Amino acid sequence: MVTVGAPAHGGHCVARLDDGRVVFVRHALPGETVRVRITEQRSKYWRADAVEVLEPSADRVPSVWPEAGPGGVGGGELAHVALPAQRRWKATVLADTLRRIGGEQVAEDVAALTGGAGAEVEALPGDDEAGGLGTRTRVDLTVDGAGRAGMYRFRSHEVLALREMPLAHPALLELGLLGEDAPWRRVWRPGARVEAVAPSTGEPMVLVDGEAAALRRRSGPPRRAVRERVESSVGELTYRVSAAGFWQVHRQAPRTLVEAVLDAAGSVAGARVLELYSGAGLLTLPLARAGGAVVSLEGAEGAVRDARRNLHEHPEVDLHAGRVDAAAVRTLGGGAGVVVLDPPRVGAGAEVMSAVADLAPETIVHVACDPAALARDLRAAREKGYVVRSLHAYDLFPHTHHFEVVAALGRAG
Ligand SMILES: C[S@@+](CC[C@H](N)C(=O)[O-])C[C@H]1O[C@@H](n2cnc3c(N)ncnc32)[C@H](O)[C@@H]1O
């Protein structure tokens, strides 16, 4: 039995045993007294699941997805927490991570921006009304040994067949992928990887081991891409995206990020804009529409092919396929007034951040899906004389511990 303390990065709360040992407890809430099952013992800390709640928090609600509860699949570790409390949890983790990893100066920059309160994590439009459900337009499943679609048990290679996916967009639920009677069972084999995509326009799509799959024979070549439409302050943006390629998962995420990045970048008209980790061009297109002379760099060649199509009305945009590293930043970034970067979960890293700062842009816009990586990158920029000028956090992944941050940095002084 333990009383758990504050949340920490990774979707758990921190508890201390009488002997001082630290235990990271999932499926609990700060302040709760719970009975735990130890799931992993390391020399420096243990991991545990709360399996019985003795003194519940006022923020506890019946889980919206019990299959992601103790012993269940990953991807819904805050499903037992009321939505406003999920966002307070994430704001606490953000503030703590920025201070612990980003350092005092970064923490002070953000405190000064928020009157000492720390950044809030904002809900996306419609999420409160829908209970944070039905937001995910992409789901990844794995087929178990009996041919049923499921997900991995948390920190395990065991596939648990799923009965429900309340976080998935309704269009994906209508595909009938789950359950003993799923018609798709004749299409896939045990061990297959199944991706389902619900684009903002057109039919949903199912990929089995990376190939388009259908229940009935279709005429014509197999579909490989979907179309996405984003309303934005620089007009309606339309994109072609390979179904297996990266696209923001929450239905409202593309619009939210486009607006946040345009806002953070300030006026880009006539400015040279270096965009790193540019994907299929979600941010490239609005930056070009806003008058930026954009040079972009993305590692996935398929995404760059999509970006070329998506930017066909902007032949002036200079799209490059290749790895983002310090040398590439130096080669492509000369004269950049604005740098926008949207790295994967690991962040850009100190070398890339240092090379970006050496370009001496007026503004650096960092889009981050991991607060620890963000904090490391902000620290690196801070050490090169950049301060945080704005920072907004968005709850792009309700019922999980994940969230997104858009930060703008400018030169100190
Ligand atoms: C978070 S996504 C952002 C894409 C785009 N901004 C969007 O919102 O759709 C990160 C992108 O970085 C690319 N990427 C990851 N590591 C990379 C690297 N070392 N060099 C270049 N691109 C990389 C991925 O292929 C992916 O498209």
Q: Say whether pLDDT at 220 is over 80.
A: no
Alpha carbons 92 and 181: distance in angstroms, whole number: 43
The answer to whether the beta carbons of residues 408 and 392 sit under 8 Å apart is: no
For the chain, the average pLDDT equals 97
Buried b (16+ CB within 10 A) or exposed e, 204-231: bbbbbeeebbeeeeeeeeeebbbebebe
Is 331 a domain residue?
A: yes
pLDDT at 125: 96
pLDDT at 221: 74
pLDDT at 413: 77
Q: Mean pLDDT throughout 77-84?
A: 98
Share of the chain above pLDDT 90, in %: 96
Sorting pLDDT into bands at 50, 70 and 90, what band is 244?
very high
Is 163 a domain residue?
A: yes
CA distances from residue 43 to 23, 46, 164, 177, 386 in whole angstroms, order as listed: 11, 8, 37, 41, 38
Of 108-117, 150-159, 323-332, give the lowest mean pLDDT range. Answer: 108-117
In whole angstroms, how large is the CA radius of gyration of the chain?
22
pLDDT at 366: 98
Alpha carbons 94 and 88: distance in angstroms, whole number: 10
pLDDT at 127: 98
The answer to whether the beta carbons of residues 184 and 196 sit under 8 Å apart is: no
Is 209 a domain residue?
A: yes
Is 168 a domain residue?
A: yes
Alpha carbons 240 and 247: distance in angstroms, whole number: 10
Residue with tokens 């024979």: 217
Measured between its terminal Cα atoms, the distance across the chain in Å is 52
The residues, any chain, with a CB within 8 Å of residue 43's CB and separated by 6 or more, are none
Q: Say whether pLDDT at 217 is over 90.
A: no
Q: State yes or no: is 369 an active-site residue.
A: yes
Q: Quick one: 389 and 277 in the same domain? A: yes
How much distance in Å is there from the Cα of 413 to the middle of ligand 1? Answer: 32
Mutate to test the pocket of ligand 1, among 277, 282, 324 (most ligand atoms within 8 A of CB): 277
Alpha carbons 362 and 410: distance in angstroms, whole number: 6
pLDDT digits (tens, 9 = 90+) for 271-280: 999 999 999 9
Q: Say whether pLDDT at 160 is over 90.
A: yes
Is 104 a domain residue?
A: yes
Q: Quick one: 142 and 121 in the same domain? A: no
Alpha carbons 51 and 186: distance in angstroms, whole number: 37
Go through the chain and tell me how many residues it has: 413
Single out the catalytic residue among 369, 373, 375, 408: 369
Is 173 a domain residue?
A: yes
Alpha carbons 158 and 117: distance in angstroms, whole number: 42
Give the domain range for residue 117: 88-126+230-236+247-411
CATH number of residue 51's parent domain: 2.40.50.140
Q: Which residues line ligand 1 (CB under 6 A)?
A: 246-248, 277-280, 282-283, 298-300, 303, 323-324, 342, 344
pLDDT at 391: 98
Q: Say whether pLDDT at 291 is over 90.
A: yes
Q: Supply φ then ψ for residue 17, to 5 degrees.
A: -80, 170
Q: Quick one: 167 and 304 in the same domain? A: no
Q: Say whether pLDDT at 337 is over 90.
A: yes
Q: Mean pLDDT throughout 99-124?
A: 95
Q: Quick one: 254 and 373 in the same domain? A: yes
pLDDT at 42: 96
Q: Quick one: 286 and 341 in the same domain? A: yes
pLDDT at 219: 74
137: helix, strand or coil: coil
pLDDT at 21: 95
Q: Say whether pLDDT at 218 is over 90.
A: no
Rounded to two decimals, the ipTM of the complex is: 0.99
For the chain, how many structural domains are there in total?
3
pLDDT at 216: 85
Q: Quick one: 113 and 197 in the same domain? A: no
Ligand 1, atom 4: nearest CA belongs to which residue?
Answer: 279
Sorting pLDDT into bands at 50, 70 and 90, what band is 223?
confident
Q: Mean pLDDT throughout 39-51?
A: 96
CATH number of residue 392's parent domain: 3.40.50.150
* pTM exceeding the 0.95 threshold for the entire prediction: yes
Q: Supply φ then ψ for residue 25, to 5 degrees.
A: -105, 120
Is 71 a domain residue?
A: no
Q: Quick one: 187 and 212 in the same domain? A: yes
Strands, DSSP E only, in 75-210? 121-122, 138-143, 149-152, 159-161, 193-197, 205-208
The residues, any chain, with a CB within 8 Å of residue 339's CB and separated by 6 or more, are 273, 274, 275, 276, 333, 356, 359, 361, 363, 364, 365
Q: Quick one: 282 and 384 in the same domain? A: yes
Q: Mean pLDDT throughout 212-223?
A: 83
Q: Quick one: 99 and 144 in the same domain? A: no
pLDDT digits (tens, 9 = 90+) for 341-394: 999 999 999 999 999 999 999 999 999 999 999 999 999 999 999 999 999 999
- Listed residue (381, 311, 316) closest to 343, CA to CA: 381
Give the ligand 1 atom nearest the CA of 343. 10
- CB count in 10 Å sphere of residue 98: 29
Interhelix angle for 104-113 vs 371-383, to 10°? 100
Alpha carbons 75 and 52: distance in angstroms, whole number: 21
Mutate to test the pocket of ligand 1, among 262, 274, 298, 345 (most ligand atoms within 8 A of CB): 298
Q: Quick one: 285 and 400 in the same domain? A: yes
Q: Quick one: 301 and 330 in the same domain? A: yes
Q: Quick one: 145 and 199 in the same domain? A: yes
Is 74 a domain residue?
A: no
Alpha carbons 199 and 184: distance in angstroms, whole number: 20
Q: Mean pLDDT throughout 389-410?
A: 98
Q: Give the domain-ending residue among 43, 60, 77.
A: 60
